[in-house]
Chain A
Amino acid sequence: MALSVIPGLGQLYNRRFIKGALFFTLFLSFFILFADFLNIGYWGLVTLGTWVGVDDSRALLIQGIVSVILTFFFILFYWMNFSDARSDANRLRDGWRITTIRSGFKEAWDKGVPYLFIGPGIFMMMFVLILPLLFMVSLAFTNYNIYNSPPRFLLDWVGFDNFKSIFSVPIWRNTLISVLSWTLVWTFVATTLQISLALFLAVIVNDKRVKFKRFIRTMLILPWAVPSFVSILVFAALFNDRFGAVNRTILSPFNVSIPWMTDPFWTKVAIIIVQVWLGFGFVFALFTGVLQSISSDWYEAAEVDGASKWQRFRQITLPHILFATAPLLIMQYTGNFNNFNLIYLFNQGGPPIRNQTAGSSDIIISWVYKLTFETLNYNMAAVISIILGLTVATVAFFQFRRTRSFKEEGKI
């Protein structure tokens, strides 16, 4: 058993020579190949560089994170080797005879194939999603901002200082509170409105007395079909205070002119209106699809029993629709929570407010964008990202766990 400490030897002891040799070579080559890289990586991760102007803390940080990921996979491999040797030893003790190379190979292939299938996907996600996320999380614990940015300066670890200052420095705290509350109100109001409108439309268009159903449905889905960045920019022009058609054409007969772009309250109203316009089409299409699949027997039986229209809707239509579309509806909420495109394209998060680092219609994600790419407050952007990520993840995670897609076990 102690032999398994060095990968391969355990297998040799079990007299599976080829397997043992393979494991041993892999183990050795890992060390030879990555020793230097890992060494610099961990050194960089701890110190973030020591030569001002030569070491780039950001590159060192990335190399450090890659080292951590590599080590993680190494430990995984090591552990697999360990348990493989142990299970073989147990089987040998129970009187199991060593298989031929051929069938041993076949067994390894069958066991390894799922990893081959997930390999490319996991690899891509490692670099495009996981590594950047870890990088962002680590930035939250550094002093990376506009006054202290590599490659001219070195970064330092500052522990939880950034977290402390976001809750204690007034300008950050106030902005955080106002942005967070608007984000929550925006997510809830806009999404609920767009779902309700879609539900109402889907039900009335599905009424058997309505004619030209196909044409009506196509028209109602149109807002979903048009690329959203086009519609948003068109709306931004329509709502323009001075030139916009909303003030000039639609509201002028009533002698009203509303400051859509310069007043915080009206900007928010406009943004919600635009989102309802953009978002209801997709949900409408979903609901219509479900409605058409509900058997009419249900309704006929309910009618015989004397159920009112409202009762039929409550007891038959609504449960069917919600059951079939629940995960997609949750995705609408999380989608709006992170709806960067609309907020940024419509009014760049404006109008600006005094004594705050975010505009009045900024939601968290657009605030993070501004902090990162406009004011270069990387460390604060990272802190806020962490808060945002944790919020969305916890809410959505508990919802998704209930859906069935998760309980299904894969067996072949």
Chain B
Amino acid sequence: MSAKWQSRLELAGIYAFILFMFIVISYPLLWAMGVSLNPGTSLYSATIIPENWSTEHYSWLFTDPNSQYLLWYKNTLIVAFWNTALSLLVVTMLAYAFSRYSFRGRKHGMYTLLLINMFPVLMGMVALYILLNILGLLDTLAGLILIYVGSSIPMHAFLVKGYFDTISRDLDESAKIDGAGHFLIFFRIILPLAKPILAVVALFNFMAPFMDFLLPRIVLRSSENYTLALGLFNLVNQEFSNNFTRFAAGSILIAVPIAAVFLILQRFLISGLTAGATKS
């Protein structure tokens, strides 16, 4: 009898803790949602459950001539698309060479890659700024894309290499005996088998421009080139308490789709990550 009671007590404790976590997690999110539905721009009078519901901030984002929200959305999508496509190509090729070939400089190359991965990109910002200026790419989306692609290489190359290592070598050996060339093996055999990790890398690269505000802040100057994160940050940063409700509305419109994608794909993401990082 006492064992049963103990078990019940334990279970109650578990549920109580989970409930507590639910409240802690959802409070800030619900608060932001509530605030975005408050009329007016004052943060002080805004409440989590609005007294008068209003969608004025949402319609402002889309219809007001001063709002550049849709433009920022378009910019972000452009950056996200090119970042994903270019990164995938460059990263998989690099990872394939490191995983399958033994060549002079391989070991040193891997150590260098790992070492570079440790340094935050922020450290090289001054040089990148000057370099983009010399190349005439400052305040352009192309410049931003180049930096995103380059800086994502080391970390993702390691993830992908780890995954390639788990794919049996017998497959490419036999294809080689059948006379398949290097690129044929790569594109027709290895890449299709590595779809899970490619999806993970693609997703991370696609999401990065939606979440990062720092690089755009340094590279982009004119507001018609802003990405979403930077544009929204400036909404709050300029006059904090004045535009917060508007910022909340704009953020929810990007947070909801991103969160949905992550939640739907989470199992997939996690298995890709642990397989790549640990080769279990």
Contact B214 A406 (CB under 8 A): no
Contact B251 A230 (CB under 8 A): yes
A219 to B218, CA, bound (A): 35
A231 to B259, CA, bound (A): 12
Minimum Cβ distance to chain A for residue B38 (Å): 13
Question: Of A121, A324, A345, which contacts B153 at CB under 8 A?
Answer: A121
Minimum Cβ distance to chain A for residue B96 (Å): 6
Contact B123 A136 (CB under 8 A): yes
Question: Of A111, A326, A392, which contacts B118 at CB under 8 A?
Answer: A392
Cβ of A375 within 8 Å of any chain B Cβ, yes or no, is no
A381 to B120, CA, bound (A): 13
Total A-B residue contacts, Cβ distance less than 8 Å: 281
Minimum Cβ distance to chain B for residue A394 (Å): 9
Minimum Cβ distance to chain A for residue B67 (Å): 18
Interface 1/0 per residue, B224-249 and A, CB below 8 Å: 00000100110010001100100110
Cβ of B114 within 8 Å of any chain A Cβ, yes or no, is yes
Contact A131 B122 (CB under 8 A): no
Minimum Cβ distance to chain A for residue B78 (Å): 18
Contact A216 B258 (CB under 8 A): no
A245 to B244, CA, bound (A): 14
Contact B18 A226 (CB under 8 A): no
Contact A222 B259 (CB under 8 A): yes
Contact B124 A325 (CB under 8 A): no
B116 partner residues in chain A, CB cutoff 8 A:
125, 129-130, 133
Closest B residue to A412 by beta carbon equals B100
Interface 1/0 per residue, A375-396 and B, CB below 8 Å: 0001001000100110011001
Contact A277 B24, CB 8 Å, known A114-B101, A372-B126, A397-B114: yes
Q: How many residues of B contact A (CB 8 A)?
A: 106
Closest A residue to B7 by beta carbon equals A209
Contact B131 A132 (CB under 8 A): yes
Cβ of B280 within 8 Å of any chain A Cβ, yes or no, is yes
Minimum Cβ distance to chain B for residue A173 (Å): 22
Contact B150 A129 (CB under 8 A): yes
Contact B100 A410 (CB under 8 A): yes
Interface 1/0 per residue, B158-188 and A, CB below 8 Å: 1001100100010011001000001000100
A334 to B270, CA, bound (A): 20
Contact A368 B100 (CB under 8 A): no
A302 partner residues in chain B, CB cutoff 8 A:
none
A403 to B265, CA, bound (A): 27
A312-334 interface (Cβ within 8 A of B): 323-328, 334
Cβ of A369 within 8 Å of any chain B Cβ, yes or no, is yes
A202 to B26, CA, bound (A): 19
Contact A290 B99 (CB under 8 A): no
Contact B127 A341 (CB under 8 A): no
Cβ of A227 within 8 Å of any chain B Cβ, yes or no, is yes
Cβ of A193 within 8 Å of any chain B Cβ, yes or no, is no
Interface size band for A:
35 or more
A249 to B150, CA, bound (A): 46
Question: Of B98, B212, B279, which contacts A404 at CB under 8 A?
Answer: B279
Closest A residue to B165 by beta carbon equals A408
A175 to B124, CA, bound (A): 22
Closest B residue to A130 by beta carbon equals B116
Minimum Cβ distance to chain A for residue B91 (Å): 7
Contact A59 B274 (CB under 8 A): no
Question: Of A115, A326, A368, which contacts B123 at CB under 8 A?
Answer: A368
Question: Of B130, B151, B247, B277, which contacts A328 at CB under 8 A?
Answer: B277
A294-351 interface (Cβ within 8 A of B): 323-328, 334, 338, 340-341, 344-345
Contact B14 A207 (CB under 8 A): yes
Contact B120 A406 (CB under 8 A): no
B248 partner residues in chain A, CB cutoff 8 A:
234
Most B Cβ at <10 Å: residue of A207, A229, A243, A392: A229
Cβ of B273 within 8 Å of any chain A Cβ, yes or no, is yes
Contact A118 B258 (CB under 8 A): no
A127 to B121, CA, bound (A): 12
A121 to B113, CA, bound (A): 11
Cβ of B1 within 8 Å of any chain A Cβ, yes or no, is no
B30-53 interface (Cβ within 8 A of A): 31-32, 43-44, 48
A234 partner residues in chain B, CB cutoff 8 A:
28-29, 31-32, 248, 251
A334 partner residues in chain B, CB cutoff 8 A:
118
A68 partner residues in chain B, CB cutoff 8 A:
none
A230 to B277, CA, bound (A): 28
A243 partner residues in chain B, CB cutoff 8 A:
43-44, 241
Contact A132 B125 (CB under 8 A): yes
A121 partner residues in chain B, CB cutoff 8 A:
90-91, 93-94, 153, 157
Contact A221 B127 (CB under 8 A): no
Closest B residue to A228 by beta carbon equals B211
Contact A289 B263, CB 8 Å, known A117-B94, A226-B29, A227-B255: no
Cβ of A33 within 8 Å of any chain B Cβ, yes or no, is no
A180 partner residues in chain B, CB cutoff 8 A:
none
Cβ of A270 within 8 Å of any chain B Cβ, yes or no, is no
B99 partner residues in chain A, CB cutoff 8 A:
408, 410
Minimum Cβ distance to chain A for residue B17 (Å): 7
Question: Of B18, B94, B151, B241, which contacts A118 at CB under 8 A?
Answer: B94
Contact A120 B93 (CB under 8 A): yes
Cβ of B262 within 8 Å of any chain A Cβ, yes or no, is yes
Contact A125 B25 (CB under 8 A): no
Cβ of B191 within 8 Å of any chain A Cβ, yes or no, is no
Given contacts A219-B25, A240-B43, 5 further A-B contacts (CB under 8 A): A209-B11, A229-B211, A341-B214, A404-B279, A411-B102
Q: Can you list 7 A-B contacts with CB-CB less than 8 angstroms, sorted by A residue number?
A: A121-B93, A132-B124, A132-B126, A225-B259, A234-B32, A277-B25, A406-B110
What are the 3 tightest A-B residue pairs by CB atom distance, in nearest-first order? A132-B124, A128-B150, A135-B127
